[in-house]
Structure 1
Amino acid sequence: MAPQPQPQPHDAIIDKNYEVVRRQGAKVFAGTTDPTEAEEWLRNTEIVLDRIECTPEQKLRYAVSLFEKDALDWWETIPGSKNRPITLTWNDFLKEFADKYTPPVYRNRKKVEFLELKQNELSVAGYELQFVRLSKYAPEEVSTDELRRDRFERGLRLEIREKITIKPPSYGALLEAALRAEETSLERSSTEAKRKRLTGNLNPIPGQSGAVSFRGCGLQRGWYRGRGMGQTSRSPSVSSGRGGPNSIGFGGRQGPTRSFSGRSIPSCANCGMRHTGECWGAQPIVCYRCLLDKIIFLRI
């Protein structure tokens, strides 16, 4: 009959698991003056210890095994920390650790921060992350799902709350409704921004040269044929060598000579056309009817 394997002593199992704890991601702790850093270490350590399914007694021994330098010096000053067998419990450890590294003044400050928490410029998801992170400092404020829901709702921006017309039955339902309301609000804002950019390019600015408002297209049928330009309803009454009044000839950069009060008008150095006054040949004018922002013609 084959010999039965002998069970390992309890202390041998503990010693073996010290290395397992480190391989699972637990970090050594040398002490700190930053409460946030201490909280992060404890949180990470608890996750690792829960992963390997430790008993409360084992949790205490493994956590203390990660102490070094200042942290170890501090722990050895705790009454009962050197007793063998150990008499302190895991809850004793949590209390002593909190009193040392996250003192009451820090926890009270975080509680006030939670009670005053508002969404403001945060996204709904960002606000929810802050809400969850700070809620542990005021557990009495979120002890039930209803209290958690109401507290979260009070911190939402007004524009989000106004879109939630029916009170959600739970915290989870409220969060989902707030996310949908935010998505709708963002879509509306994006549409409004696009509309303003478009109308901002089309609408004239009083007193600003080059800005013209057209109720219609302002261009007659067949306005562009080859190199010729048709009539426009706003053409100036300037007679040219070809055509009658209200006619503008566009026969290329060397257009017909035009006369104004008996004078010959020289070609414009900017657009190549013959006109008086300011040259608006490079000014883009957008048609209200077709909304094509690339329709550019010479305004003379």
Structure 2
Amino acid sequence: MYNLKLDKFKGHEGYEGVKRWLEHIEKTFRVLQSQGNLPFERWVETTSWFLGKESASWWEQEVCHLTPEERADWEVFKQLFRKRFVPPQYIDRKKQEFTELKQGKLTVNEYYRRFTDLSRYHPEVVANPVEMLCRFRLGTKKKWRSMATTTPCDSYQEFYEILLRIEDSEDMPSESEEEGKDDNQRKDDKGKGQASQGPRKTQSFK
């Protein structure tokens, strides 16, 4: 394990540091598990080897309040770990970003990904599908929102799929635009044909 060059977590890395460290640990463990070298129920125990003094002391205290099953549960560890080492101010800022998110110039896909990513900082809203749909709908472009509300849906994922179809239809050229392009193309072709003929040459009979 130590040959894998996994850094120790010292406890003051901040949110981005927590995220990178956990992702690196988890990715490494998945590879080891796929090779049959590290069963899932050993992930938490193995992670404790790479905790610094402060973070190790914190985990020892947490373990006292957990059941044997929870102590070996990787998802439980990640949840408690983030709760302890991610600054509350960061969570509050992300919650505000989620609440104030608007589509603006974003594409439907970009807005959907941003909305989904930020929603994890507001678990109370995520637990309510009706509230999620309402917030997602309010953040979309007013014109598209009016068009999409004519189609019933039960989740923000369904509303997202409706918006995708609206976006695709707006990107497609209208029939009048197509006809205009065809007319212009015919004029261009005609002009090119005339230009290619060049001046006429008269035959000399001398």
TM-score exceeds 0.5: yes
Q: Which residue of 2 aligns with 1:168?
A: 153
**Following the alignment from structure 1 to structure 2, what is the Cα–Cα distance between the partners of residues 77 and 159?**
55
Mapping 1:238-253, distance limit 5 Å: none
Residues 133 and 155, structure 2, Cα contact 8 Å, conserved in 1:
yes
1:112-261 residue pairs with structure 2 within 5 A? Answer: 112-164=96-148, 165-188=150-173
| Distance in 1 (alpha carbons) for counterparts of 2:102 and 2:59 | 43
Kindly provide the amino acid, as one letter, of the partner of residue 61 in structure 1: E
Q: Does 1:107 align with 2:91?
A: yes
Q: Which one of 188, 193, 203 corresponds to residue 292 of structure 1?
A: 188
Instruction: Identify which of 83, 88, 93 aligns with 1:98.
Output: 83
Q: Structure 1 CA distance, aligned partners of 2:120 and 2:136?
A: 14
Q: TM-score scaled to structure 1, two decimals?
A: 0.47
TM-score by length of 2: 0.65
Tell whether the 8 Å contact from 2:48 to 2:56 is kept in structure 1 after alignment.
no
Structure 1 residues 113 and 194: alpha-carbon distance in aligned structure 2, compared to 1, 3 A threshold: farther
Q: Which residue of 1 aligns with 2:18?
A: 38
Tell me the matched-pair count: 176
- 8 Å contact kept, 1:60–1:93: no
1 or 2 for the larger relative contact order (CA 8 Å, sep ≥6)? 2
SS in 1 for 2:110: helix
- Counterpart residue identity of residue 105, structure 2: E
2:7 maps to 1:28: yes
SS at match of 1:292: helix
- CA deviation vs aligned residue, 1:91-115 (integer Å, no higher than 9, x gap): 4674354322x11110000000011
Q: Deviations over 1:167-207 (max 9, x none)?
A: 22333322211111111111148x86996xx6xxxxxxxxx
Select which of 48, 56, 64 maps to 1:64: 48
Structure 2: unaligned runs, 5 residues or longer:
34-38, 196-206
Distance in 2 between the 1:293 and 1:54 partners?
68
Secondary structure at 1:172 match in 2: helix
**1:292 Cα shift?**
2.3
Unaligned residue ranges in structure 1 (runs of 5+): 1-17, 199-286
Give, in whole Å, the separation in 2 of the partners of 1:33 and 1:193. 57
Matching residue's letter, 1:75: S
Shift in CA distance, 87/60, structure 1 to aligned 2, threshold 3 Å: farther
* Alpha-carbon displacement from aligned partner over 1:211-261 (angstroms, at most 9, x marks no partner): xxxxxxxxxxxxxxxxxxxxxxxxxxxxxxxxxxxxxxxxxxxxxxxxxxx
* Equivalent in the alignment of 1:75: 55
Question: Compared with structure 1, are the counterparts of its residues 116 and 30 closer, same or farther at alpha carbon in structure 2 (3 Å cutoff)?
Answer: same
Which has the larger helix fraction?
2
How far, CA to CA, are the matches of 2:186 and 2:178 in structure 1? Answer: 20
